[in-house]
Structure 1
Amino acid sequence: MARRNGAPEVNAGSMADIAFLLLIFFLVTTTIETDAGLDRMLPPMEPPEDNVIIKQKNIFTVNINKNGQLLVEDELMNLQDLREAAKAFLENGADGSCTYCKGRGDLNSSDNPDKAIISLKNDRETKYSTYITVQNELVGAYNDLRDREAERLYGQKFTKMEAEYLNPETPSSVRDDLKDKVKRVQEMFPQKLSEAETSTN
């Protein structure tokens, strides 16, 4: 009787093909989540043709030092008070042109929401978490005012309408209906959040 030498061989010629097909399958079917990041518009490369004069009273300055302290309009302020202060500035309505604003009409503050600009400046040593928290409070001030007006006009919050409008799974008929509503509320309180160059001190 003949004796077999060694272990039986396995034909592995097609294993590379199978591995390659599995790799393609996983690449095609896997979804990779990407971070949205901060929604900010960079200024245009070329300055505008017309020289725009911005009054100092229409600029709400927020400075963050390296210790995380806030200097708002040249006065120290707690972080929990920032949102309300920003809202009061945005809807001040000093020139009386804003019919929906509920501000005090202080002549030393912003004329109307269209002219109001929030300027944020931070130190290079400012903690990133502090920077993001301040950003959230300032954006939250815009969203609070927009929510109020959206509820008055359309009976629902702006943030909900905007999220539904930006959702790619929303039917096109619903998105078309939301487009004008979202744009109208955004124009009532345009988000003009400017970030000045960071300081090295």
Structure 2
Amino acid sequence: MARRNAPEINAGSMADIAFLLLIFFLVTTTIEKDRGLVRALPPEQPENVEPPIIKEKNLFVVIVNKNDELLVEDKPMEMKDLQEAAIAFLDNGGVPKGQEGYCDYCQGERDPSSSDFPDKAIVTVKNDRETSYDTYITVQNELVGAYNSLRDRESQRLYGWKFTEVKKAIDEGVYKGNEESAKEKLDVIKKMYPQKLSEIDPQS
């Protein structure tokens, strides 16, 4: 009895089909952009330099637990109130008038138990390892928003424009005007309210 050969499947076009499907999915698939934070690393400190002494009242401590709940200055706080609390701390100006270190542009309550001067005010964030990424980003945005709000206020008072709008226009290359002069003014505002935002290693 004659032996039959099994019919072969023509797979010559399979590679072409797979390639076309790959192109189709690449063109039609929407890839979400990850949200991130822009941070500049501090300059490297020389060795054998003692860290500066920081008064406890010049620290604004934000703790986020594993349930995404906030504890600000040892008190529970809602996310919606975080930016306002940070502004009050940064803009406090606790040194009395006539004394060294008095802030003549601060508009806070000038509480002697809170921050002395914007340059001395430090915001510290401590997260739990199980803190959600969305909450982490929201906390960072609220704190940066506090700095931007104060910077906008002062740039509006001194120059008639908002810090965030001019900075964005320069970063995007669409600023119409004397860019060098604008950058110098931005630096002045940054020195008035320097962004001192630190993070403590997450706790397990």
Q: Report if TM-score (shorter chain) is over 0.5.
A: yes
Query: What is the alpha-carbon distance in structure 1 between the residues aligned to residue 43 and residue 119 of structure 2?
Result: 19
Query: What is the alpha-carbon distance in structure 2 between the residues aligned to residue 168 and residue 60 of structure 1?
Result: 35
* Corresponding residue of 1:104: 109
Runs of 4+ in 1 over 6 A off after TM superposition: none
* Corresponding residue of 2:16: none
Question: 1:182: Cα distance to partner?
Answer: 0.5
Given that 2:166 and 2:175 are in contact with CA atoms closer than 8 Å, whether structure 1 keeps it comes out as no
Question: Given the two structures, how large is their TM-score scaled by the length of structure 1?
Answer: 0.77
Q: Unaligned regions of 5+ residues in structure 1, if any?
A: 1-33
SS of match in other structure, 2:84:
helix
* Corresponding residue of 2:62: 62
Identity among equivalent positions (%) equals 54
* Corresponding residue of 2:178: 174
SS of match in other structure, 1:198:
strand
Q: Unaligned regions of 5+ residues in structure 2, if any?
A: 1-32, 97-101
Residues 105-124 of structure 1 correspond to what in structure 2 (within 5 A)?
105-124=110-129
Query: What is the alpha-carbon distance in structure 1 between the residues aligned to residue 143 and residue 199 of structure 2?
Result: 12
* Corresponding residue of 1:189: 193
Deviations 1:142-168 (A, max 9, x none): 001001101101111110111122223
Question: 1:175: Cα distance to partner?
Answer: 1.5
Equivalent pairs, count = 166
Question: 1:37: Cα distance to partner?
Answer: 3.7
1:148 aligned onto 2:147: no
Question: 1:192: Cα distance to partner?
Answer: 0.3
* Corresponding residue of 1:74: 74
Question: Given the two structures, how large is their TM-score scaled by the length of structure 2?
Answer: 0.76
Query: What is the alpha-carbon distance in structure 2 between the residues aligned to residue 169 and residue 89 of structure 1?
Result: 34
Residues 80-91 of structure 1 correspond to what in structure 2 (within 5 A)?
80-91=80-91
Query: What is the alpha-carbon distance in structure 1 between the residues aligned to residue 147 and residue 189 of structure 2?
Result: 11
